Amino acid sequence: MSAALRFILRDGQVPGAGPLPSLIHLTLSTLAVSGIGIGIALVVALPIGIGLGHLHRGSFIAINIGNLWRSLPSLAVLAIAVAFLGLGLVNVEAALIVLAVPPIVTNAYVAVDGVDRDLVDAARGMGMTQWEVLARVELPLSLPLIFAGIRTAAVFVVATTTISALAGYSGTLGDVINNETSYRTYGVLGGAICVALLALTVEVVLAGVQRALTPRGLLRGTSGRPL
Amino acid sequence: MLIAAGGPVIPDFNTGAFACERANPLFCFDWFSRNWGGVLWPALREHVLLTVVAVAIGFAISSVLAILAYRRRWLERPIVAVTLVLYTIPSIALFELLVPIRGLGLSIRSAEVALVSYTLLILFRNILTGLRAVPEEVLDAARGMGMSSRQLLWRVELPLALPAIVAGLRIATVTVISLATIAPLIGVQSLGTPIFAAIGNNLFKTELIAAGGLAVALGLFADGAFVLAQRALTPWTRAR
């Protein structure tokens, strides 16, 4: 354990081995790979989820896509993506997007669909247009739940990005865990500690953002998130 | 020089018994049928076994924790905090973090501890939510009939919480099926074993698709089975 911590303090270098990639560099590139995946997933998923929720249509698809998602093993999805597309950044991103879209769609749909109909009616009665109802009533009220979906997806994507090392994609923190020959047992343990800390940090930061985004009137009783 | 002049070292590159494997197209049915009994079926069996044991242990632990937190409200926060941390740690890291612990090591025990720890948050939350959703009037009526708190738990609260409990089991099971694919990382057999083998074997596509497909199919099958079980166990939820 102490050897693993010293490995982290040495920024991922192993005495007696050649220069290895720095842990900070690997952490940043893990975040970059994850960030691209989540970014594209957001652009795809948010309009679908929010649009369907606003129109109160497509509940079957919007909700079941979330159930389907849970039963997709990320390593299996990566393996199938590698078989069809080969190995590379684009293909890892494709798998990440497939895994990140469903929870965002489901949460956005449930959030917008679940906004109190009376409030929407009141807004219409005040003369708001469709877009105003969406932008000024439905979205602010559903923001915490929408963000909860993004949070679930983000933590999941970070985990899957590190797993992509097992599927042969190198350049992330997963490399350290997947390469016991170079890193020795304590290096692998140190890498695992870094991966765990990274995921926990992402979770805590996003939980903070979620709290900051929540309208003050909603702060009570909305701290939980669906899993 | 002589070898180079002699042409390819391996003759018959695209013919013979393993031609399909060498060409590595998307799917060799030949390979699939030859390796079902020796590779894929054992992996599937181990995968199911890992999952069943993990969900059973996780369910036992979570039930106790949930009933405790149901009786003593203040316990909920610390239990959620600890299980949320366990749930958030990526599987690849948690598996490795358990290896140095004495008594676990590179064994099925590490794999089970990791898999169990992912079920706790899901099961605990669902069981507790289910118990708390039992209407107060129902509890009053049962108490009025002279039930002890133990009878109340077994005959009223747990049966009424069943839909939420089964929903939790469903999520926990598919989550474990998904995470068990990583188990070969610490030397434990699962459907991940053929996936890792295929990655090591020049990305052998047939095996990637067959094992990956089996893992996805197993998750979908378990999900569907739980939906049916939930319907069968709680007929009253469909009555109007």
Residue B211 touches chain A, beta carbons under 8 Å: yes
Q: Has residue B180 been placed in a domain?
A: yes
User: Residue A223's pLDDT is what?
Assistant: 45
Distance CA A214, CA A225 (A): 13
Contact across the interface for B90 and A159, Cβ inside 8 Å? yes
Instruction: Using alpha carbons, select from A200, A190, A198 the residue that is nearest to residue A1.
Output: A190
Q: How near does any CA of chain B get to the CA of A215, in Å?
A: 24
| A60 CB neighbour count, 10 Å cutoff | 8
| A218 CB neighbour count, 10 Å cutoff | 15
Tokens 């219409």: give the residue. A124
Amino acid B228 reads L
Q: Has residue B29 been placed in a domain?
A: no
Distance CA A97, CA A141 (A): 26
User: Which residues form the domain of B50?
Assistant: 39-232
> Of A67, A83, A158, which is closest to B209 when you measure between CB atoms?
A83
> Which of B83, B92, B122 is most worth mutating to test chain A (most A CB atoms within 10 A of its CB)?
B92
Q: Has residue B142 been placed in a domain?
A: yes
Instruction: Using alpha carbons, select from A34, A93, A219 the residue that is nearest to residue B90.
Output: A34
Distance CA B205, CA B25 (A): 7
User: Residue B26's pLDDT is what?
Assistant: 75
Share of residues in chain A with pLDDT > 90 (%): 22
Residues in Cβ contact with B63 at an 8 Å cutoff, skipping those fewer than 6 apart: B123, B127
- Model confidence over B121-160: pLDDT tens digits? 999 999 999 999 899 999 999 999 999 988 999 999 998 8
Distance CA A113, CA A138 (A): 9
Q: Phi and psi at residue A128, in whole multiples of 5°?
A: -75, 145
Tokens 């994609």: give the residue. A169
Distance CA B55, CA B57 (A): 6
Give yes or no for residue A208 having a pLDDT over 80. yes
Q: Has residue B240 been placed in a domain?
A: no
Q: Spell out which residues of chain B touch residue A1, defining contact as CB-CB under 8 Å.
A: 100
Domains and CATH numbers, chain A: 2-8+21-215 (1.10.3720.10)
- Chain A positions contacting chain B at CB under 8 Å are 1, 67-68, 70-77, 79-80, 82-84, 86-87, 155, 158-159, 162-163, 165-168, 174, 177, 185, 188-189, 191-193, 195-196, 199-200, 203, 227
Three-state DSSP at B89 gives coil
Q: How far is CA B15 from the centre of its chain?
A: 41
Q: How near does any CA of chain A get to the CA of B124, in Å?
A: 12
Structurally, how many domains does chain B consist of? 1
- Model confidence over B175-234: pLDDT tens digits? 999 999 999 988 889 998 988 888 887 788 888 888 888 999 999 999 889 888 888 887
A93-125 burial string, b = 16+ CB within 10 Å, else e?
A: bbbbbbbbbbbbbbbbbbbbbebeeeebeebee
Residue B228 touches chain A, beta carbons under 8 Å: no
User: Residue B222's pLDDT is what?
Assistant: 92
Nearest CA in chain B to A178: B185
Q: Has residue B140 been placed in a domain?
A: yes
Nearest CA in chain B to A155: B88
> Which of A33, A65, A71, A189 is most worth mutating to test chain B (most B CB atoms within 10 A of its CB)?
A71
Residue B100 touches chain A, beta carbons under 8 Å: yes
Reported as half-sphere exposure (CB side, CA atoms, 13 A), residue A197 has a value of 12
Instruction: Using alpha carbons, select from B159, B196, B165, B191 the residue that is nearest to residue B178.
Output: B191
pLDDT, mean of residues B72-94: 90
- Model confidence over B30-79: pLDDT tens digits? 788 788 878 888 999 999 999 999 999 999 999 999 999 999 999 999 99
Distance CA B166, CA B181 (A): 23
Give yes or no for residue A139 having a pLDDT over 60. yes
Distance CA A117, CA A149 (A): 22
Reported as half-sphere exposure (CB side, CA atoms, 13 A), residue A200 has a value of 16
Contact across the interface for B195 and A168, Cβ inside 8 Å? no
Contact across the interface for A79 and B211, Cβ inside 8 Å? yes
Eight-state DSSP code of residue B9: S
B228: domain CATH number is: 1.10.3720.10
Contact across the interface for A199 and B174, Cβ inside 8 Å? no
Residue B106 touches chain A, beta carbons under 8 Å: no
Residue B85 touches chain A, beta carbons under 8 Å: yes
Q: Has residue B23 been placed in a domain?
A: no
Residue B99 touches chain A, beta carbons under 8 Å: yes
Rg, Å, chain B Cα set: 24
Q: Has residue B14 been placed in a domain?
A: no
B1 confidence band (pLDDT: 50, 70, 90): very low
Q: Has residue B122 been placed in a domain?
A: yes
Give yes or no for residue B80 having a pLDDT over 50. yes
